[in-house]
Structure 1
Amino acid sequence: MADQSVFRITKELSDLQKNSDLSLAVAVQDIDVRNLKALIIGPHETPYEFGFFEFQFKFNKDYPRKSPTVTATTTNGGRCRFNPNIYANGKVCLSILGTWRGERGEEWSAAQGLESILLSIQSLMSANPYENEPGFEDANEAKDKENQAEYVQKIRHETLRVSVIQRLEEYLGIGLDGSVIAPVSTKDDYELDMDTVEDESVPFEPFKDLCKRRFLWYFESYLAAIEKAKEEVKDGQSFTRMPFEGGSNTMEGKFNYTELEKRLRNIKAVLDQETENWAKEGLEAKTKESTVAVNLQRQYEQVVESFKRADVPHNLELQDNNPFIWVLTYFGKPMTNLDGGLFRLRLHFSPRFPHEQPRLKFETRLFHHRIAPDGTPCYVAPSNRQEDAKSHIEAVIEALEEENPPYDPRTLVNPEAFKLYWGGADDRKMYNRRLRRSVQQSMEDC
């Protein structure tokens, strides 16, 4: 039975890691599949939008006959209740977990699994979480309407403050005064040092690189959320306690969006500087002929050769002969809105690649729904090829040239372009005009 449960967990874990769902991530430490961490990225158009919410899963030997134990760990040290069903102490109230009485047929069954649990938790992160509290599902009194709006406002504030800003500040070693101090070492920081990796005193932070890259994706959305919130509440205004909150199971605090915006912009600056620092670290790694440096040099040469063989028009070169900084000149695809464009894209590789994935940025301005205003492209490299540098180039080009992409708010990196692209017919025309204008500008800037 024990072997069957391990096999089942391993398969579910593998399936989820191969999944293209951009809002879920799972990871285990070494081979201990019974204890795993999961990350849920808050859904679009909810107060949880693009927040990073972490959960701890513990599976017993009776799985899947019995559900795992799930604990929310994004709680600001047990001081923040993010949902009527997600307590400040980490308890997650769901009928399928046996932590809440549900209707007949809603209890746990062996047919359910890790993904269904994550999707159930994610469904709690709704546009109106006030209704998740039993007895308040159809609350329509005037006071309830007021409470609903105020509950959304404080969840939005704490999503930004706790799940995004505090998390990134910790990852980047940003102190209370905004200055950068040496970040706490984690297992993500080490390259091929197995003695260190097995040191249990080092925290296990499997989502650090993912959250950094997603922060760059969603930075403009965070700013937009703050701009909207500033119109609704004033700095210094206290959170309203909800009727179902009490004791230590609450969300207390005061609004201060001015401070949050300042901290958010500081994170962006520090993160950009970290990316730039990879170039210097890379040259040092090249001098020492590190494994990563040699590997990237070889991959660069292979990609250049493959471009020649396939008669690909794009040009690839190293910046300052540094294998950690690739510069791609992309020629717009003929017979598309990109036709005739000439765009410069820099690929920054970490000395810890592929553990830290590359960060890409278009230096040539391009108005596109998959490119953030600062030039960060939204793309997804195949999960089984993330160590292949060429796959990142191919994935970016595919995202640029995709003719009929499915609507997916998880790829919302440029709010203005995204809104026009997915708007009405007139909006789409305006989008195409602005895209063509940026393409023409790229030719003039050559």
Structure 2
Amino acid sequence: MSDQAIIRIAREIRQIQQGHDLSLAVACDESDIRKIKALIVGPPNTPYEFGFFEFTIKFPEGEEWVCHSLWPCTYFLGDYPASPPKVTARTTNSGRCRFNPNIYAGGKVCLTWPGQKGEEWSSAQGLESVLISIQSLMSTNPYENEPGYENRDSALDRKAMANYIDKIKHETLRIAVIQPLEDALGIKTRNARAPSPTDDGKEADDSECPEEKVRETMESFDDLRKRRFLWYYESYIHTIEVESKKVKVNEQFKNMSFEGPSNEMAGSFKYPQLKERLGVIKDEIINETKRWAIEGLAAQQQEVRIADNLHLQYKQIVEDFKERKDFTVDLSLVDESPFVWLMTYFGRPMTNLGGGVFKIKIHLSTKFPDEQPRVFVETPIFHHRVSKDGVLCYFTDRPGELRYHIDAIVQTLEEESPPFDPRTTVNLEASTLFWGTPEDRKKYNRALRRSVENSTESQEM
């Protein structure tokens, strides 16, 4: 591969990693930058909503050709970006689930680059456009990706489309949310790998995926999945509550006309089981978060560098607050551990949070920053960015420095007119009111003010 191609790929990876798109994540094999792992979070308000879909992307190396003319030169035929990368879907339940007419059970992803005029690959495209093209397949009605869809408008066809959407929602939860998190957390639940009627009895395990395996040296998306799971837990449960009313337990999926043996989405609806498994995952992530404090204590006793680093960052942030005379935030360490920070936020006057006092716990891992903080607002608050369980949904451009996490937490709580982004709405009731009618917004503000008033009362008790 040419040096220019390598430089371009590195730049495109960095742009995505430093970008603000909450639905895309990438990591590369440090020994071979041509091999990339990508995660696409299913778009909201689609059957794929908040599922974690993983892909491998391999860039063409190109064929070296040396020109022996008066001025020797080297060309790379078929090199990137002249030729497109190869994309393989990995979230396929070990090659058993076809999630889309254009995303096959065997891992093939059809993006039509070699197709008709106007659909060919262009060197102006890049890694991000590839991911966005895949994401566009995860539409509100993925049935429309099937050739000839535009000519189908009968009641029978509409019923088939609805059936297809119903089973995608179920399998998104089962395969794209639950399975990878159970694997990451080491959870083995009863019937967690129950085979579908078309299976051969072999357990479905993505580690046995027939597609090309990704090197272990590549960064894992486990931490991203865990944090996002806490964000979207209420949405997952809401989906189950709505969808379970449409189908019977153990009702078989309907096959689509374009599905066939070994390239289909087969199985049955088991929403009660999915709800139970989601609860187990949530409990285990919370327990894992609590274990971070124990692991942190051991790291302190062994004088591991991360303990000193976090303690130093804490002292620097506290000193900075004193110099700035910023009385909005007070920080302390729980049990003198730099792995558990207690942040007391004092609402600024003349804002909806004015007069409020909120306790916020910041849990840190010994693997920080590879594992990002998990933040819980312990004082009850009615806020569209705080889940009913107190999980705070926030993000920062500088994930490796805790001062920027503190700033982001404050900004998230105080922002009064944020742009609508359903990927950050972790409290469904609050979000519905916040972005509803003017009367809804008044209800939201009243509920928020009540939680502000209650916060001061709880401090006095």
TM-score range, shorter chain: over 0.9
User: 2:45 matched to which residue of 1?
Assistant: 45
1:372 aligns with 2:373: no
SS of structure 1 residue aligned to 2:338: strand
Q: Please, which of 285, 295, 299 is the counterpart of residue 299 of structure 2?
A: 285
What amino acid does structure 2 have at the position aligned with 1:66?
Answer: S
Deviation at residue 125 of structure 1 after TM alignment: 0.4
Preserved contact between residue 386 and residue 426 of structure 2 (Cα < 8 Å): yes
Preserved contact between residue 178 and residue 263 of structure 1 (Cα < 8 Å): no
SS of structure 2 residue aligned to 1:71: strand
User: 1:78 matched to which residue of 2?
Assistant: 95
What amino acid does structure 2 have at the position aligned with 1:436?
Answer: R
Cα distance in structure 1, aligned partners of 2:230 and 2:150: 36
1:93 aligns with 2:110: yes
SS of structure 2 residue aligned to 1:340: coil
Cα distance in structure 1, aligned partners of 2:217 and 2:277: 24
Cα distance in structure 2, aligned partners of 1:178 and 1:257: 13
Deviation at residue 162 of structure 1 after TM alignment: 0.3
- 1:54-203 matched pairs, under 5 angstroms: 54-61=54-61, 62-96=79-113, 98=114, 101-102=115-116, 104-177=117-190, 202=216
Deviation at residue 177 of structure 1 after TM alignment: 3.4
SS of structure 2 residue aligned to 1:21: coil
Q: Please, which of 334, 345, 366 is the counterpart of residue 330 of structure 1?
A: 345
Preserved contact between residue 249 and residue 271 of structure 2 (Cα < 8 Å): yes
User: 1:214 matched to which residue of 2?
Assistant: 228
Deviation at residue 290 of structure 1 after TM alignment: 0.6
Preserved contact between residue 26 and residue 39 of structure 2 (Cα < 8 Å): yes
Deviation at residue 298 of structure 1 after TM alignment: 0.7
Cα distance in structure 2, aligned partners of 1:146 and 1:285: 58
Cα distance in structure 2, aligned partners of 1:65 and 1:394: 43
Preserved contact between residue 366 and residue 438 of structure 1 (Cα < 8 Å): yes
Deviation at residue 178 of structure 1 after TM alignment: 9.0
Deviation at residue 247 of structure 1 after TM alignment: 1.8
What amino acid does structure 1 have at the position aligned with 2:52?
Answer: F
| Same amino acid, percent of matched pairs | 55
Q: Please, which of 231, 240, 247 is the counterpart of residue 245 of structure 2?
A: 231
Q: Cα 1:341–1:169, aligned 2, differ >3 Å: closer, same or farther?
A: same
- 1:198-347 matched pairs, under 5 angstroms: 202=216, 204-313=218-327, 314-347=329-362
Equivalent residue pairs, number: 422
Cα distance in structure 2, aligned partners of 1:167 and 1:6: 31
1:348 aligns with 2:357: no
Cα distance in structure 2, aligned partners of 1:256 and 1:334: 50
Deviation at residue 44 of structure 1 after TM alignment: 0.6
Cα distance in structure 2, aligned partners of 1:177 and 1:143: 37
Q: Cα 1:18–1:202, aligned 2, differ >3 Å: closer, same or farther?
A: closer
Cα distance in structure 1, aligned partners of 2:299 and 2:151: 61
Which whole-Å deviations, capped at 9, do the CAs of 1:105-138 have from their partners, x for residues lacking one?
A: 1210100111111111101101111111001234
What amino acid does structure 1 have at the position aligned with 2:280?
Answer: N
Which whole-Å deviations, capped at 9, do the CAs of 1:374-409 have from their partners, x for residues lacking one?
A: 111111111xx2121111111111111112211111
User: 2:416 matched to which residue of 1?
Assistant: 403
Which whole-Å deviations, capped at 9, do the CAs of 1:313-364 have from their partners, x for residues lacking one?
A: 1210000111100000000121110000000000000011111111110000
What amino acid does structure 1 have at the position aligned with 2:40?
Answer: I
Deviation at residue 234 of structure 1 after TM alignment: 1.2
Deviation at residue 205 of structure 1 after TM alignment: 5.0
Which whole-Å deviations, capped at 9, do the CAs of 1:72-96 have from their partners, x for residues lacking one?
A: 0000000000000000000001113
Cα distance in structure 2, aligned partners of 1:250 and 1:215: 27
Cα distance in structure 2, aligned partners of 1:218 and 1:435: 21
What amino acid does structure 1 have at the position aligned with 2:324?
Answer: A
Which whole-Å deviations, capped at 9, do the CAs of 1:186-234 have from their partners, x for residues lacking one?
A: 9xxxxxxxxxxxxx98474521111111111101000000001111111
User: 1:196 matched to which residue of 2?
Assistant: none
Preserved contact between residue 310 and residue 339 of structure 2 (Cα < 8 Å): yes
Which whole-Å deviations, capped at 9, do the CAs of 1:7-37 have from their partners, x for residues lacking one?
A: 1111111111111000001111224210001
RMSD: 1.6
Instruction: Work out which of the two has the higher radius of gyration on C-alpha atoms and give 1 or 2.
Output: 2
Q: Cα 1:127–1:417, aligned 2, differ >3 Å: closer, same or farther?
A: same
Cα distance in structure 2, aligned partners of 1:311 and 1:138: 67
Which whole-Å deviations, capped at 9, do the CAs of 1:245-302 have from their partners, x for residues lacking one?
A: 0121000000000000000010000000000000111111111111110001111111
What amino acid does structure 1 have at the position aligned with 2:112?
Answer: S
Cα distance in structure 1, aligned partners of 2:184 and 2:348: 39
Preserved contact between residue 103 and residue 110 of structure 2 (Cα < 8 Å): yes
Cα distance in structure 2, aligned partners of 1:409 and 1:165: 21
Cα distance in structure 1, aligned partners of 2:128 and 2:285: 31
User: 1:362 matched to which residue of 2?
Assistant: 377
Cα distance in structure 2, aligned partners of 1:220 and 1:286: 36
User: 2:445 matched to which residue of 1?
Assistant: 432
1:23 aligns with 2:23: yes
User: 2:66 matched to which residue of 1?
Assistant: none
Cα distance in structure 2, aligned partners of 1:178 and 1:326: 39
Cα distance in structure 2, aligned partners of 1:168 and 1:118: 22
Preserved contact between residue 27 and residue 219 of structure 2 (Cα < 8 Å): no
Cα distance in structure 2, aligned partners of 1:31 and 1:311: 48
Preserved contact between residue 102 and residue 110 of structure 2 (Cα < 8 Å): yes
